Amino acid sequence: MPTPPPNPHLPFGDQRTAPWYGKDILSVKQFSREDLEYIFAVAHEMHDMVNHVGTFDLLKGKILANLFYEPSTRTSSSFTAAMERLGGSVIPINEVKYSSVSKGESLPDTVRTLECYADVIVLRHPEVGSAAIAAKAARKPVINAGDGIGEHPTQALLDAFTIKEELGHLDGLTVTLLGDLKHGRTVHSLARLLSLYKVRLNYVAPDILRMPAELIDEIKAKKIEQAEYTTLDACLPQTDVLYVTRVQKERFSDEAVYESVKGAYVIDPQVMKAARERMIVMHPLPRVGEISPEFDDDPRAAYFRQMEYGLYVRMALLAMVLGKA
């Protein structure tokens, strides 16, 4: 189909030569600092456009296949909203058991099928490396929306954007990652992404849920200061960003082990008395008890704002891989 002429009323042109056109987004390792600056700028434009016009036709006629093998509220619905706000449409496969996956269809065949109908595929899957397998099978761009305990790159991008919007910069910050650092794909991606900046990273986790040693080594090689703790009190007062995570129940084979660590940390107004006045608390969500709702009205509670930033970042990413930014 011929490409329609660019709309001069939009801040974005049709840029088939744009560097991200047709690219997969599989890991945060793909991004440089300059890429992040660019994504943040486009996400900013998206925010303004949504505020001013709500929905516009940048991706009119484009179709997203939203393929989720694992539960999701935010990632799935924000990609849908992002596509629809850009004038495109979505094939939702939120429950693969109603698709031919339940008849035994493989991931590569499922992806090959969907790319016959869609221009871009967003995939969440329980296995590490699944997004890369899908990308190998597909000619169209695949965006990793979480591959098991591996990565969740679009979450890390929206997390970094949140920090930038809320605190104005990333260099010089102390970021404390708390909770299930072993299984949490969001913290794996975020720690990697933050290593592009001059940050200090604190890891607070029960002994059995520590940040994987390979990841600590990878980040150490970038000369990033890191420290591990089992309790929060030693590092909370110096923290600029407290990134809280859920203990990932679905990754435990022994429920008794999950039960033994699930309530390890609870952030509430009392705990937060020891923190700075100017800092933020983030959480990729869903939360299941690790942040008390009593803290929600504190201006430092950024986790609901963080979800909204995700819409603008995902709009930016869709526009980029479809050659419109």
By CB under 6 A, name the binding residues for ligand ASP: 146, 152, 185-186, 245-246, 248, 284
Q: DSSP character for 211?
A: P
For residue 176, give the nearest of 288, 305, 276, 321 by alpha carbon: 276
- Of ligand ASP, ligand CP, none, which one does residue 73 interact with (CB within 5 to 8 Å by kind)? ligand CP
100 scored as a contact of ligand CP (CB under 6 A): no
Minimum distance of ligand ASP from residue 273's CB (angstroms): 26
Beta-bridged to residue 123, according to DSSP, are 67, 144
Q: Return all residues near 252 (Cβ < 8 A) that are at least 6 apart.
A: 258
Can you list the positions of beta strands (E) in 88-181? 89-93, 120-125, 142-147, 174-178
Q: Which of residues 150-189 bind ligand CP (CB under 6 A)?
A: 155
Q: Between residue 280 and residue 299, which ones bind ligand CP under the rule CB under 6 A?
A: 284-286
279 burial via Cβ count (<10 Å: 0-12, 13-18, 19+): buried
Q: Does 75 bind ligand CP (CB under 6 A)?
A: yes
Task: State the Cα–Cα distance between residues 127 and 149, nearest whole angstrom.
Answer: 8
Whichever of 76 and 80 has its CB closer to ligand CP, that residue is: 76
Q: Give, as one character, the DSSP assignment of residue 148.
A: T
Among 47, 74, 85, 188, binds ligand CP (CB under 6 A): 74
176 neighbors 202 (Cβ within 8 angstroms): yes
**8 A C-beta contact, residue 60 and residue 89:** no
Minimum CB distance to ligand CP, residue 248 (Å): 11
If you search the block for the tokens 């539960």, which residue do you land on?
71
Nearer to ligand ASP, 58 or 204 (CB): 204
- Compute the least distance from the CB of residue 173 to ligand ASP, in Å: 21
Cβ proximity to ligand ASP, 88 vs 146, nearer residue: 146
Number of residues that bind ligand CP (CB under 6 A): 9
- Site membership for ligand CP, residue 250 (CB under 6 A): no
Q: Does 62 bind ligand CP (CB under 6 A)?
A: no
Contacts with ligand CP by CB under 6 A lie at: 72-76, 155, 284-286
